[in-house]
Structure formats: structure tokens, C-alpha cells
Structure 1
């Protein structure tokens, strides 16, 4: 264990107040002074508005000392406020919880139980990376329930993540454990600190280093995404169609002399879409995924990076999809539902729930081996292959009957399900092919519905409830009798798998939290 996981209270990186908002404070002060300096000088020093050069006027009146004193006083007040904020923001990690206290006037206290941790994420935004700092966030189930530690030293963040995952796994703390103080890169055992040259060298190495931690994961990702494929997948997406429609609408509107409302309505949407594309591209560069002793490590990002460890048993649903425009290239995407930040919107939320932005069928198989390790047999491989490529028929799935074509005229052949190796596998979609896997141990509930039209056709719909996320585990049309059998089999299987599941305490001898 490092010195940060000893159960005592610790403080964050000394530059935390500046990184969390100080830069914006100074930027706001600079903006105000740049735009209102004449008014400020008129109020403070009595220099009339419109003077040729206010700074020369200060010098002419002999008020330079007062001006410097005012600037120094403002800086002192800001530094005192930052210092108090930093001293009041403390955290501790023991065998049961991660706890954070913060606030001066309004106090806040947040706790995360180690046996409820869904993942540990380390983000390195561009500016904090220049200071050698990183943000560690402990993801737990619940709305706005995550516990962030912003910011820690980059090396300390990596060490603390290993400690948190070790404690969450159920591994016993040695009875007589020596605590090694965590050191930043460049700080040797007997060095009092980091030299300027060493600090700069470490920052360069950090920018060029792979996202995966070689001490905890293989140095190479099990999947490599060529930049050309990544760029092509973004271009061949639904947003591209929207952008083309918007551009055509602008061109047509300009040709026929349309009123000025059209650009006002479309241009902001086009700018937003372009920003989404750029954000998705930069966040998906340097994508990496690999297995570690404490779960799956997923990393991405170019200038600002993020890498998250998903402990075993934290993936609640897996969605494998192939948009129509990707089909000629054989590309697929894999997304997951997890209890924590699954409902985030935009590119950040997509990156947080996407474990394969774009890959081949072989890449999908490698990713499934990592995030669903119990689903790796030859029979399971055949189920995945059939679910991804089959058009229906006798392929191991219980498919929708022909009369379902009244409600799903194009996709009824591919609509079906099967139960295999402790998971429910759903297949659907013809324009966008989808395959959904739900581990029975993670299932929340199952529901079947039958409205008047489906009742008349002898059909029903089924939905498997998991935590909120991008993967929707549902079938729109199922034979009514098969829906009942699905309900009974899934309900019984979920109880049995949940009872025997010990993946949430993956390193504990008995799998039980003590």
C-alpha cells in the first residue's frame, strides 16, 4: 500500500485550487481590467475616463506604489482563499471506504464504499498534465454519486488506484505492512524533490507514454485502431447525413434567396455537430484496452487522456452494433452499461461507455474475452458469430414468427434470443445490426408486454432491465408462448447466477466482503 491508502487524512496536489478554477479567476480579472480599466482607475485613483494612457497618468501622479500595493493585495487575497480551500479539501482511504471532505463556508462530505465501486478512472486534462497532475474519480452506483479527487500527482494517482482496486477486490491487507511513501517521477529515494530538468523530462515522457500502465497491464492494447479507420467510422455515421442535409439546405436557401432565418437555425447546429466530430476523434485517438489483475483497463485521448479500470462484475449489458454504412467494411462498435456515468451525454459520455469505438469481428471477439471472461467457449463463439452476421432461420436463436412481419416487416427475421453460459443474448435490427448480451447475474428484472395488436397476432414484447446506459435490452416482437418461456427461464437463471456470483470480490478467498 502507498502512503495515501493508510486510512489517514491527506491533501490534494498543491496546485489544485489553481487547476480547479484559479486559471479562470485570473482570466476573468484580466478581462475586467482590459475592458474596464479606465473606469477602475477613475474610481480608485481619480484619473478621468478618456485619458491618453492611464498607466502614464499613474506614473505622473506618483501613484505607482499605491497601484502595486493594490495589485499585491488582490493577489494575497486570492492566494489566501486558494490556500484555505486547499487545506479544507482532504481525503482518506481505508479498508472500507473512500471519503472526501471539502468546503470552507459550506462543508461537504462524500463517501464511497469499496464493495460498491464500479470503476476507477484517471483523467489527465491538458493543463493539469503540464503540472504533472491527474484527476482520480471513483465511480459508484447512483446519480451523481461519484467521488472525485482533483487533483493528485500523476504517479500518486496511479498508485492510489492500484490500492483502491486491491482493497475493493477483497484482498487481505498484510498484518504487518510497511507503508512506502509515494514519489513523483524523478524523485529518488534520497532526493528532497524534483529538479526543474527532471520535471520537464517527466512531462515529455508522460505525453509520449502509452496510456496503459505497464506495471498493471500489458504495454500493448489487445485492439489497435488505425487512424484511417477511426476517421472513416466518424465520417460514415448518422451525423454526417445530418451535416450533408444541413449544407444542402443552406445551399438551396441561398440559391432561392431564402430569408435570413435559415442560417440562424442551421449554422449553430452545424457548428455543434462539427465540434462533436472533433471531440469524438480526439478522444478516441490512442485508444487502448487490456486486461489487468483488477479488471479491464480502457484508455483513450490525445492531448487530454483518460483511462478507466472496470473491475470484474461491473458490466451490466453489452451492445454490439453495426450501422448500415459500416457494413461494407465489416466494422463494429461495442458499448456497455455500467452503474456510474452511464447516462452522460455527448462525446464524453460515449467515450465513457464505449469499449470499442470501431473494430473488426476479430476485435469484437478479443474485447468480449476481456469484459465477459466466462463467455469464451466454442459454443458461445458460434452464438456471437450467428448473432452478428446471420439473417435468421435455424441458427441457434429462437426467432420471431412470420406473422411478426406485420409489425416489423424488414427486421422480423433477425429478431430473436437465446440463453447461453449465464447470459441472455438478444439479436435484432436489419438497417443497423445489433447484438445485446446481458449477464444474468447483473439483471435487475424482466418484463413482457402484450397490447391489443400483439395479442391479436399472438405476439408480445420483452425487455430486460439493467442499469441506465446506451444499451437497451429489448425485443419488439416475440411469439407470446416463447415470451412466457423467456420470462420464466431468465427469472430463474438470474436468481441462480446472482446467488453464486462472487466476481465483485475477485481477490477474496471466499468472495465474501468482510
Structure 2
């Protein structure tokens, strides 16, 4: 049992069943919401006032009233007053068909969200809100954008999240009967099934062996070596006093430490879970994110292996979800990201893939390499680059420093393009690009024979027209359904 589970077991809260409201249920944000929304200014005011009181020679006395302190106090009072009025004017209304978010102090706004339009519901606990045990709910309704419910208590947010997801799946609320439990380090319910967890030591290892770290450290070391080589007096001074070298390296070591710590904190206590009717990912230490994984909206998967990860058999998986942003580059980011598995083994990769798309079998796909003459265009990565397909998905491989596999279901392919520049035309090669509604990276069969490119273009267009996503979501041997 990990630390998050122990803490969650100690502070668990059992909530009553959320039943269908007979008329409508009106709920206010948590009373501490104004403080959370203005916590930076409140903290700055407390810090300034406390420092003045402690440094006063006459003991604990209020600082003198000046124009600066007076203006700051008035601004703080006005901000807190507006936050309070905004809290009074905000309410969440749940009735039999929709959820409404009523906001506005001077101009009233009503955001109406039908249950059948909800695609995913996520919970985020920013740092300030987490200190007070609060959380915000993000409701994704696809092309219409997202809606946020700020802020509810951690346990209440989990209950509302589960209620909305259940309604989104077409299940009547009277069928809900569950205990909602939340902890300090995770968002794992009693009925949740943990499929994959990533230990902190592997997160540290992945950060230390990442290309971003190499791009940060190598230029610094190279510049230092060049300076010492060009200046003999500097090299002699460092040899006589090694502490000088340490003084030069301290800023670089500080940046290195910050990079590794941010990566680890952002993905701390990562868990991939099966929860109720769907899947979710929980991660984060200072800011906790509980992100829903809508399988039926995933457009493609990106499986990456950086150079130093290959011997250790480690992988990173990103997902392109309809309506979300592109590839995540800062793994410490809170909220919804493309990251599906930060650092996983081959076995964990198979678990994630078989859970997202039960019909996916990567090992069963026959990958066709590029022709031998393509070595002129890809001398280092020639043995890796290739493409293949089965009845459900299309697989393309590219990259040399980071080996990337793009998996695109035939049912998600929106358009196909063949590219052939003068060099490829001279070599009798072409590249076939496959486009979806959401792009993580270019999915392309690179540098294949021109005749094969034309055949692939026509055949994949036919497969895209006749493919059904339900076979991939439920497995080839199971009856088709709409998915999550």
C-alpha cells in the first residue's frame, strides 16, 4: 500500500447516494472560494505586514499609513469584496436534463450543459486550493469548449464528477450507489481498479535520460571546456583553486535540479485507473490532476522512445484527443494534457494500449521498411522507418534520436496526401501523410516506393470509408457499441 492510499484511507469520507433531483438542485461554491481566487495578493499583503511588524524597533506595531500602503489596502479590500460578490452571484444548478453554471455580478451569465453533450469531466486541485482541501471541476463538451466549476470541497467535487460522468453515459442517477473517497495524494475511489503506476525513482531516471536535459547540459559543458581551453590562465587558476569551477557550475546545477524536480512533481504518484464507466489518470504532488480518458474521442496515439531509454525498455505515450491541445512539452503542467504514460515499461505499455483500444495488437502488425535506396534520405534511421496496417489501425514509424510510432485508427483518418519532392522523385520515392482532426505529430509513411505510395493512398482511403471505431474500442470479437 503506497503513501497516497494510506492517507486516503485515514481521511476517507462516505457520501450519500446522489439521487436524481425531483425539481432542481442548487449548490453554491465553497465559502473559501474568494480566498483561493485572490490568494496571491492576500499572501503578499500578509507577508508585507508581518515583515514590517517583526522589523519594527518598537515591537509589534502596525506600519505607518502612507499612500502606498493605503492604496494597497484599498485594492486588496476591493478585490476581496468583488470576489465575495462573485461568489454570492455564482451557483451550480442540476436538474433532470442539464447542469447550469450561473455567474456574473453586474451581467448575469448562464452556461447550460446537457448531460448527453458531456465528453469528459476532470478534477484539478491547484496549489492554493489544495491547501484548503478544495478542487475545481472541468467539463469538456467537445467543440463548444470547456466549463469550470470553481471551487468545491475535494470530496464533493469527486461526487459531482462521478455523477456527471454517469449521466453522460446515459445511466439514470437512481442506479448510482457508491462511496466517494479522496486522499491528499491521489483521487482513487473504493471501486477504482489501478492498472498502471509509475514510481518516483523511474520518473527521476526518465528526466535524467531525457533529450531536454542533454540539450540543457551539453552546451554549458561545451562552453566551459572551450573557455578553459582558450584561456590557459583560467585553466591554471581552476587547477589551483577547484572551488572556482564549482562556483561556475552552481547555476547550471540549480537549473538541472529545477528541471528534474518539476518533472517528478508534475507526474508524482501517477496512476492509470479504470473508474466506473470510464478511465482516468491521476498525477501531481503540489497540484493534483484527475483527468478523464475519453476512449471514443482519441484520434491517434504517439509512442516514443528516446535514445537513452531504449536499452532500459522505457516508453512514453501521448494521445491526441478531439478538442484538446497538441503535444505536451512541459510534463509538470497541471490540468488536461496529451500525456497518457510518462515513463512506462513494455508490459505497462501493453496494458495501456489494450485498455484504451482492446482490439489493438502492435506485435501483430507487419511493418514494411523503406526501400534500400531510401538510405540516402535517412542514413541513420533507415532500419527503423517503416509502415504497416491491420484491419483496425495504421502504424507508421520515424525518427532516429527519438524513435516514434504513430498509431491511427482507419476510422479516424480524415484526409491523405502524397508528397514527392525533386530528390524523392529522382529516387522513385514518395511520402504519404495521414491527417486526423487532432494532430500530435506528423503521421506519415516516409520514403516508400512511389508505386506503393499510390496504392497505399487508394487502399487507405477505402479502409477509412468502411472502418468502424467500435471494433477497436470493444475488440474485434466483441459486438460494437458507442464506447466510453
TM-score band, normalised by the shorter chain?
0.7 to 0.9
- The separation in 1 between residues aligned to 2:20 and 2:27, in whole angstroms, is 7
1:323 maps to what in 2?
A: 306
2:376 is the alignment partner of 1:406: yes
C-alpha deviations, 1:411-466, integer Å up to 9, x for none? 23322222223211112234322221112233332222222222222221122222
- The separation in 1 between residues aligned to 2:304 and 2:226, in whole angstroms, is 36
2:406 maps to what in 1?
A: 436
Equivalent position SS for 1:462: strand
2:283 is the alignment partner of 1:300: yes
Q: Cα gap change, 1:245/1:499 in structure 2, threshold over 3 Å: closer, same or farther?
A: closer
1:496 maps to what in 2?
A: 466
Q: Cα gap change, 1:252/1:3 in structure 2, threshold over 3 Å: closer, same or farther?
A: farther
Superposed, 1:449-488 pairs within 5 Å as 449-488=419-458
1:227 maps to what in 2?
A: 200
- The separation in 2 between residues aligned to 1:357 and 1:121, in whole angstroms, is 19
- The separation in 2 between residues aligned to 1:77 and 1:359, in whole angstroms, is 49
1:382 maps to what in 2?
A: 363
Determine if contact 1:321/1:434 at 8 Å carries over to the other structure: yes
- The separation in 1 between residues aligned to 2:286 and 2:179, in whole angstroms, is 24
1:8 to partner: Cα distance: 4.4
2:186 is the alignment partner of 1:213: no
C-alpha deviations, 1:364-415, integer Å up to 9, x for none? 111101111222xxxx25236xxxxxxxxxxx22332122222112223322
Q: CA RMSD in A?
A: 4.1
2:159 maps to what in 1?
A: 159
Q: Cα gap change, 1:79/1:304 in structure 2, threshold over 3 Å: closer, same or farther?
A: closer
2:342 is the alignment partner of 1:360: no
1:122 to partner: Cα distance: 0.9
Task: Pick one of 330, 333, 336 that aligns with 1:346.
Answer: 330
- The separation in 1 between residues aligned to 2:428 and 2:397, in whole angstroms, is 20
Moved more, 444-453 or 106-115: 106-115
2:370 is the alignment partner of 1:370: no
Superposed, 1:174-213 pairs within 5 Å as 177=174, 206-207=183-184, 210-213=186-189
Determine if contact 1:321/1:435 at 8 Å carries over to the other structure: yes
C-alpha deviations, 1:339-381, integer Å up to 9, x for none? 2443355234598222211121111111101111222xxxx25
1:274 to partner: Cα distance: 4.7
Equivalent position SS for 1:455: helix
TM-score by length of structure 1 reads: 0.72
Equivalent position SS for 1:223: strand
Determine if contact 1:92/1:99 at 8 Å carries over to the other structure: yes
TM-score by length of structure 2 reads: 0.76
Determine if contact 1:10/1:91 at 8 Å carries over to the other structure: yes
1:25 maps to what in 2?
A: 41
Determine if contact 1:225/1:359 at 8 Å carries over to the other structure: yes
1:334 to partner: Cα distance: 1.2
Q: Cα gap change, 1:315/1:93 in structure 2, threshold over 3 Å: closer, same or farther?
A: farther
Aligned pairs, number: 437
2:264 maps to what in 1?
A: 281
Q: Cα gap change, 1:167/1:319 in structure 2, threshold over 3 Å: closer, same or farther?
A: same
